[in-house]
Chains A and B, each alone.
Chain A
C-alpha cells in the first residue's frame, strides 16, 4: 500500500463496465458519475498519476467524498482493489503545513492510546483543533475500559479456549458497555482472555486519512504484541479492527517483507468475537429475553459477512429474542468512520434510507458490531436503541 503507481496495472484492468454505480452510497445520494469508482479512478489516474489534469479543489473534494466502505471493490467484477487505490490517492493528497502536522500528531497520539484522549484532555478542544463538529462527537468515558483490567482474565468455570482480545478503540474509550458485555460473555463460556498491554489502535482510521506511514507504525506494534501470544484465536468486537487485522494489514507492507509475512500469519487467527463464540459453542445457556432486534451489517464486513452472520446465529439461541430482518441489512448507514462529521447532508441522506428500513422491520433495537455505525445510527434513533450483538447476549446472562 505505497504509492499510487503500484496500482497502475490494476487501474488498467478496469473494464469500464460501470457496475460500481450499483452500490456506492455516495453516488446513490448525488447521482453524479464522478462519484462512482469508475469516475474516481479515471480522475485519480488523470490528475494524480498522469498529470493530464491539474490537481485542483474539485479533485480533492471528489477523493475526500468517499466513505472508504469498500462496497465498490466487492461489486467490481474485475476485483479491482478500489478502496486501497482511494487510500493511496488520499495519501498523495495529504495536506502539509503546521496545522496539518499538529492534527496528525494528535491523531497519532490518540491512536497510540487506543482511542482515549487521556492526558490530551477532553476530546472537545481537540476536536476543535481538528476542525470537527464537537456536537456529534461521541464523548469518551472518564476512564478507559483497559485502565483497570488485568493482563489475563480467568473464566469462571473450566477453561475451554484461550484468546487474545484486541479491544477496539471505541470499546476501550467510548462504548464501555460493549467491552463489558464481551468480557462477561467470554468468561461465562469458559474462555480465558489475554489483554496484551502493548497493543495500539488497529490503524484503520489512519488509513482513512491516507496516513499510510502511521498505519504501518501501529501495525508493527500490534503485530509484535500479538505474535508473542500463545492463543487459539485473536478476537475483536469491532468490525473495522477485523477488517484491518485480517485483510488490510496483509497488504500494508512490501510483499515478502517480514512485516507482510507476520501479517499473513496472523490474519487467519483473527475472528469477530461473536463468530468465535459461535464456533466454540456456548457452554452456558442464555436466559430468556423479551426483545426484538434487527441487524445492521457494517460495510466493512462485506468481505467476511459470514462472521457477522455467525454472531447473529448466537443471538438466535436466546429464548424469546425475536429477529426481525430488515430489507437490506448491508446497505450503508452513512457514517463511514468520521466521514459523517464532515459531510453531514450526504451522510444524513444515506442514513435516512436505513432508518426507513429499520422502522419497517419494527424491531425494538438494532444490533451492529461496528462502533461507527452504532454511534451514527444512535444519534438518530437514541443511544439505547443500538447495541453490539454481544450486549444483547450479555443481557441474557444476568
Chain B
C-alpha cells in the first residue's frame, strides 16, 4: 500500500503505528497460530477515540480492511487480519475513566486489561465478575466484542450482563454513544447489545460503561475427584437442579490433577476420569456451609476424593492453576483443537457421553473440560503430530461434536465467539433467514465492508 506509512504518520504520529514486518509478525494471529492467513500492512495504536476515528475514516475512504485487536488472546481467530490491511490495536487506550460509587458503574477505555480493572474496582470494595481465564491480558474491549465469560458465569452471567453503554466508532469515522449509565433504559433499538458480541465486524468499541456489584465478603473453594466423566456431569446437573448456585463450577480432566499436584499439598489422587473445581461465595459462614454440603453430596455420589479449601490464599493457587491449564496442555502437544460448544445444563451428561463416543469413533485423543456450571464445554482434541489427514479427521470430529451440541439444544459458541473458526457453522445454528438479516445489519453499519472481513460467516455469504 503506497503512501500508507506517510499517511499514518500524519494521522497518529510516528510512534503510533508500525509497518515493519518484524513488528507485524505477531499481529498475524490471535492465541491460535494456525489461523494466520494474511499479512497486515500496518498495526496502528491510537491513544484515544479521536485518533481511532481518524484512522477508521481513512481506512473507509481507501477501502482498507481494518481488524480491531485487543490483547490478541482470542481463541476463534477473531482478530486475525485475513485480508491484510490495518490491525487496530486498542491497548494504548487504557484509561479507567470513572468508578462511580453512587451509581455502581465504571467507565473504561477499550484497551484496559481485565485484571487491572478488577483490581481497581476490588480496591474500592466492588466486584466485576466476568472472568475469562485470560484475564491477566485480555482487554475489556475484546471481552465486550466477544461476550466473554468465564467460570463465574454460572452465578453472575457473562460480559453481556454488565454492559450498560458503549462509545463506538463507525467505519466512516463517526462516533456514537449507545445505552447509558442508567440501570434501566428502554428507548430505541438496543444497539449496545448489538455491538456487544459483534466481534469487530460492525464498529470499533472505544469505551464501555460497565455495571459493578458489591464484593461478596468471602469465598470458599472445593474440589472433587470423580471416577467417571458421567458422574462428574451428573453432579453438575443435579447441583443446578437442587437450587445450589456455586460462584464457579469447573469440569476438568484428571490430567489436570498432576498439574495441581505441582503446587498443592497434600497431593490429590491422580485417578478417575474427571474432577470438579468449585467456589461458593457469600458470608464466610454461608460459603463454607455450601462448600461442605456440596462436598458431602459429591462423597455420597461416589467421588474418590473431596476437599474443601476455605483459605483464600490457598484457594487462589487452585484457581491460578485453573487459569493456566489450557496453555499448558497446548504446550505439551503439537497441536490442540478446542471447541466452545454450550449446552443446557441438564444435557451435560448426554453431551459428555456423545463427545467421548465421537472421540472413540474417530480414533482421536479428546479431553472434555469446561465451565460446566453454565453448560459451556471445551472438548479438546490433542495431536502428537500434525498432518493434513489428522487435521481433516479432527475437523470432522469437531463438526460432529458441534452438531451433537446443537441437537441437544446447544449453541456453537458460549464465549469465544465465531471468528474464523466457526464461521462455517453459523447458519447451522441460526438458520438462513437470521443470518441473512444479520448480513443486512452488517451492510447498514459497514457499507464498504472494511470491518474485520472474513469473519462470522464464510466468504461465500459476503456479498
A residues engaging B (CB < 8 A)?
Answer: 12-19, 21-22, 31-34, 36, 38-39, 42-43, 46-47, 53, 56, 58-59, 62, 77-80
Contact = CB atoms under 8 A, between A and B. Distances in A.
Contacts of B134: 17-19
Nearest to B72: A18
Interface string B6-20: 000000000000101
Nearest to B74: A18
Contact of B26 (A19, A34, A78, A80): A34
A34 B328 contact: no
A16 B22 CA distance: 17
Contacts of A12: 334
Residue of B30, B32, B324 with most chain A CB atoms under a 10 A cut-off? B324
10 closest cross-chain pairs (CB), A and B = A78-B331, A15-B330, A39-B26, A17-B327, A77-B324, A22-B136, A77-B327, A15-B327, A58-B22, A34-B23
22 contacts: A15-B330, A15-B331, A16-B32, A17-B31, A18-B31, A18-B72, A19-B324, A19-B327, A31-B45, A32-B43, A32-B89, A33-B89, A38-B26, A42-B25, A53-B22, A58-B22, A77-B324, A77-B327, A77-B328, A78-B328, A78-B331, A78-B332
Given A19-B327, A78-B331, A79-B331, 7 more contacts: A17-B326, A18-B73, A19-B136, A22-B113, A22-B136, A33-B26, A33-B27
Nearest to A15: B330
B269 to A, nearest CB: 24
B26 A36 contact: yes
A43 B89 contact: no
Given A32-B18, A39-B25, A18 B137 contact: yes
Contacts of A78: 327-328, 330-332
Interface in B35-83: 43, 45, 71-73
B21 A18 contact: no
A21 B137 contact: yes
Interface string B301-336: 000000000000000000000001111101110101
Residue of A17, A33, A47, A58 with most chain B CB atoms under a 10 A cut-off? A17
B424 to A, nearest CB: 22
Contacts of A58: 20, 22-23
B400 interface: no
Nearest to A63: B22
A21 B332 CA distance: 21
A327 to B, nearest CB: 10
A22 B22 contact: no
Given A15-B31, A77-B324, A42 B26 contact: yes
Contacts of B89: 31-33
A62 B22 contact: yes
Contact of A53 (B21, B32, B72, B325): B21
B358 interface: no
A181 B307 CA distance: 48
B29 interface: yes
B72 A14 contact: no
Contacts, number: 98
B117 to A, nearest CB: 14
B92 interface: yes
A285 B27 CA distance: 58
A19 B22 contact: no
Contacts of A62: 22-23
B91 interface: yes
B213 interface: no
A25 to B, nearest CB: 15
A16 B29 contact: yes
Interface string B106-120: 000000010100000
A276 to B, nearest CB: 25
A59 B25 CA distance: 11
Residue of A33, A58, A59, A79 with most chain B CB atoms under a 10 A cut-off? A33
B33 interface: yes
A45 B334 CA distance: 17
B381 to A, nearest CB: 15
A16 B23 CA distance: 16
Contacts of B327: 15, 17, 19, 77-78
Contacts of A16: 29-33, 330
Given A18-B31, A22-B137, A34 B25 contact: yes
Given A17-B326, A19-B134, A77-B331, A32 B23 contact: yes
A31 B31 contact: no
A37 to B, nearest CB: 10
Interface string B382-418: 0000000000000000000000000000000000000
Nearest to A36: B26
A58 B19 CA distance: 11
A177 B73 CA distance: 47
Contact of A13 (B45, B136, B137, B332): B332
B256 to A, nearest CB: 12
A1 B198 CA distance: 47
Nearest to A10: B331
A356 B268 CA distance: 42
Contacts of B324: 19, 77
Contacts of B33: 16
A44 B137 CA distance: 22
B25 A43 contact: yes
A62 B327 CA distance: 25
A13 to B, nearest CB: 4
B67 to A, nearest CB: 14
A39 B91 CA distance: 15
A22 B91 CA distance: 12
Contacts of A79: 331
B331 A34 contact: no
